[in-house]
């Protein structure tokens, strides 16, 4: 069975760059990079279209930690379930849940943009998600 939001075999160059960065953060035999290694500043040309999301458990919730200026920097600190998610964040809660459950990168694509969400490890669990948007 193909998981929801699975990555396709081909991504846009920008999103492929972010996935390659995520893969490059892997340490030793780890399957998921550590959250303290990810820095939006590593992408000076894309940081305005990137975001970090804190992951909470019991109950599972997601909160914008950092949001690039092109995506709505005023969202930082807000929980996804307490705000109206508009383009380019439609179906973001579902995508985040899928990334956590699958412990794998996910992609949401629709007319006008594509968005990748990548799980990051911390505190013995997936504690953060790294995301990027390609306006297409």
Domains of the chain plus CATH, in order, are 13-134 (3.30.450)
Give the total residue count for the chain. 136
pLDDT confidence band for 74 (50 / 70 / 90): very high
Instruction: Return the percentage of the chain with pLDDT > 90, whole number.
Output: 90
27-47: pLDDT as tens digits: 998 899 999 999 999 999 999
57-70: pLDDT as tens digits: 999 999 999 999 99
Alpha-carbon span 51 to 9, nearest angstrom: 23
Q: What is the mean pLDDT of the chain?
A: 95
Instruction: Return the percentage of the chain with pLDDT > 70, whole number.
Output: 99
The contacts of residue 80 (CB under 8 Å, 6+ apart) are 53, 61, 62, 63, 64, 89, 92, 93, 96
The two three-digit tokens of residue 43, written as one number: 């992408």
pLDDT confidence band for 73 (50 / 70 / 90): confident
The two three-digit tokens of residue 36, written as one number: 């303290």
Residue 3 pLDDT: 79
Per-residue CA distances from 54 to 7, 10, 36, 60, 129 (Å): 21, 27, 12, 11, 7
Nearest CA-CA partner of 127 in 65, 83, 78: 65
Residue 103 pLDDT: 96
In this model, does residue 72 exceed pLDDT 90?
no
How much is the average pLDDT of 105-111? 95
DSSP state of 71: T
């Amino acid at each position: 069975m193909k998981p929801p939001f699975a990555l396709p075999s081909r991504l846009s160059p920008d999103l492929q760059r972010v996935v390659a960065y995520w893969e490059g953060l892997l340490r030793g035999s780890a399957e998921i990079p550590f959250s303290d290694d990810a820095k939006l500043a590593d992408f000076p040309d894309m940081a305005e279209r990137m975001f970090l999301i804190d992951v909470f458990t019991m109950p599972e919730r997601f909160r914008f930690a950092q949001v690039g200026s092109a995506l709505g920097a005023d969202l930082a600190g807000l929980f996804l379930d307490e705000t109206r998610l508009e383009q380019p964040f439609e179906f973001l809660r579902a995508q985040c849940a899928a990334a956590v459950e699958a412990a794998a990168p996910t992609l949401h694509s629709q007319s006008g943009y594509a968005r990748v969400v990548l799980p990051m490890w911390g505190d013995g669990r997936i504690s953060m998600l790294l995301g990027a948007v390609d306006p297409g």
